[in-house]
């Protein structure tokens, strides 16, 4: 099923947001240009520093970027950066299943804590049997322990339902071993059935001994 979108809006400070919008609409007042993926984004150091620990450190520290007219951001997705800049000036961001991972990844890179929290909450709220494994891996690889922890808990409580999904059948042998070796999964019969389904999806012979692949499974 599709995941609904979520729009985050800050509270209060309407006058401040109005002034930021005026700055956003007038690039002539910009004092730095961010460059990502070949695209240029005229910005204001002060606005960026307010929203991002990364930019605060960059512009307030003794770095060449603190006075540079152009700052190139390598390995930063320009589409996600544009959304973060929209948030910095308008105070609004719309998150959906198509952009949440890109936004989480880029907000982690550039340390936009508010967006990180909103993306984390969105992933946790939209978690189900069809996506919890992917969300777990994403949370682990991007330093989001609250996301991966929620995914682990969901897996423990809904293992049978998760093991019936396409996402489960697409797991690598190594990743499957990580999940099934956890002591919290006290469902030996369900585990054996899940392992058999996974082996079948890999095209393995039906009489292949499970312990050969998963040593903790008894003969």
Give the domain-ending residue among 76, 95, 116. Answer: 116
Q: Is residue 76 a part of any domain in this protein?
A: yes
CA distance 48 to 128: 35
- Both 111 and 5 in one domain: the answer is yes
136-174 pLDDT, tens digit each = 999 999 889 999 999 999 998 888 888 888 898 888 888
**Do 153 and 92 belong to one domain?**
no
End residue of a domain, out of 67, 82, 116: 116
The reply to whether 159 and 70 lie within a common domain is no
Question: pTM higher than 0.85 for the full model?
Answer: no
Q: Between 177 and 129, where is the model more confident?
A: 129
Terminal Cα-to-Cα distance of the chain (whole angstroms): 38
Structure tokens at 71: 């700052």
Residue 21: give the domain boundaries.
Answer: 1-116
Domain final residue, candidates 94, 116, 138: 116
> Is 122 a domain residue?
no
Do 145 and 193 lie in one domain? The reply is: yes
Q: At what angle do helices 78-90 and 100-110 cross, to 10 degrees?
A: 70
d(CA 40, CA 63): 21
The answer on 9 and 44 residing in a single domain is yes
- Enumerate residues 6+ apart whose C-beta is below 8 A from 80: 99, 102, 103, 105, 106, 107
Which H or E run contains 137? helix 132-141
The answer to whether position 121 is within a domain reads: no
- Shared domain for 109 and 12, answered yes or no, is yes
Domain contains 184: yes
Dist CA 112 CA 125 (whole Å):
20
CA–CA gap between residue 117 and residue 104 (Å, rounded)? 9
Q: Which pLDDT tens digit goes with each residue over 84-140? A: 999 999 889 999 999 999 999 999 999 999 999 999 999 999 999 999 999 999 999
Domains contained in the chain, number:
2
Q: Is the dihedral of CA 92, 142, 79, 97 positive or negative?
A: negative
Mean pLDDT of the residues in the chain:
82
Q: What is the pLDDT of residues 39-79, one digit of tens each?
A: 999 999 999 999 999 999 999 999 999 999 999 999 999 99
- Kindly state whether residue 91 falls inside one of the protein's structural domains: yes
Are residues 101 and 10 part of one domain?
yes
């Amino acid at each position: 099923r599709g995941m609904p979108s979520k729009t985050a809006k800050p509270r209060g400070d309407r006058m401040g947001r109005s002034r930021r919008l005026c700055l956003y609409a007038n690039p002539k007042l910009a004092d730095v240009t961010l460059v990502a993926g070949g695209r240029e984004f005229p910005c204001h150091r002060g606005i960026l520093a307010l929203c991002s620990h990364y930019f605060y450190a960059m512009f307030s520290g003794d770095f060449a970027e603190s006075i540079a007219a152009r700052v190139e951001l390598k390995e930063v997705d320009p589409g996600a950066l544009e959304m973060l800049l929209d948030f910095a000036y308008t105070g609004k961001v719309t998150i959906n299943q198509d952009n949440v991972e890109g936004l989480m990844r880029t907000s982690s890179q550039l340390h936009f804590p508010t967006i990180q929290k909103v993306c984390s909450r969105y992933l946790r709220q939209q978690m189900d049997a069809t996506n919890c494994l992917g969300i777990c891996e994403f949370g682990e690889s991007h330093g989001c322990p609250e996301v991966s922890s929620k995914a682990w808990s969901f897996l423990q409580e809904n293992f049978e339902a998760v093991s019936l999904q396409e996402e489960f059948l697409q797991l690598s042998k190594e990743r499957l071993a990580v999940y099934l070796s956890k002591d919290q999964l006290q469902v030996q019969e369900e585990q054996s059935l899940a392992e058999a389904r996974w082996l079948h999806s890999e095209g393995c012979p039906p009489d292949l001994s499970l312990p050969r692949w998963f040593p903790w499974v008894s003969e």
